[in-house]
Amino acid sequence: MRSISVRELHDLMASGGTIDLIDVRTGMEYHGGHAVGARHVALGSLDPAKVMAARAGAQDDPLYIICASGGRSAAACDAFQRAGFSQVVNVEGGTGAWSRAGLPMERDAKAASMGLMKQIGLLALVAGVVLFLMPCSPFSLWGGAYCPTTPGQTAAAAPAVPAASSLDFQRDVVAASAQAPVLVDFHAGWCGPCTAMGPEIEALVHERGERLRLVKVDVDAHPQLAQTHGVQSIPDVRLWVGGREAARFVGYKDRAGIAAWVDAAVQR
């Protein structure tokens, strides 16, 4: 996969050349701030053939692809290449690197504000529902009489998940799987199914204690790791047992489905 630094890309723009740059983040991210000259093509609705057919310049000119930090743009480049288009170039570090380098950004303040208000409203609604249903909450449907633990008991602590900054795949996954099975959850904050499934995985790991461990890998924070392991779509969940990958699945599963999948893989 070809790549280019943000500084090199900006220099190409400044030289007067025609640059075709697409931003594959979500609409709210794009309108909140994007590299100057970038047009929006969300990764979730990406159609490589359609994008190529709509290009104004020569079809064999490079198509530069950018996201927040490199994870989604790498996935988009892979999608184009699998569709037979090899002239794609991944922008290293994404808009994060572009902004840190002090390069020009464009913002749609009104659209970003509206998107933020929608997100805040949705979060408030979800929080209200959780408080209503959560045992021991003063607002709970069940009241304070129903709790998962009784006085004097302490719920078992869930196995620690390595912080993104300290993640060492060889140590935290390969070596650790010799002691207990390790779930590896490749995800991203912008991915709806990932956000929905995350608590399901964590609840299962909490329930099983030291018999199952969890390592969460944000593909935007670790684009090279995701690429090394061939992650093309998320959520992508892998199970490592005894120092090797034993099973994987892509897409959403609920807690019961994940538990059955883990048990079947461990028993093979």
Residues taking part in catalysis: 191, 194
CA angle 61, 67, 68 (to 5 degrees): 150
| Cis-peptide, bond into residue 235, ω within 30° of zero | yes
Distances (CA, A) of 94 to 67, 156, 162, 199: 5, 40, 24, 28
Q: Cα(208)–Cα(259) distance, rounded to whole angstroms?
A: 10
Please state, in angstroms and rounded to a whole number, the distance separating the CA atoms of residues 102 and 104.
7
237 membership: H or E segment, kind and range: strand 236-241
How buried is residue 241: exposed, middle or buried, by Cβ count under 10 Å (0-12/13-18/19+)?
middle
The closest of 162, 262, 257, 153 to 217, measured between CA atoms, is 162
- Structure-block tokens of residue 63: 């198509």
What are the strands of the beta sheet with 2-4, ordered from one edge? 2-4, 88-91, 63-66, 20-23, 39-40
Strand, helix or coil for residue 207: helix
Beta bridge partners of 216: 185
40 token code pair: 């929006």
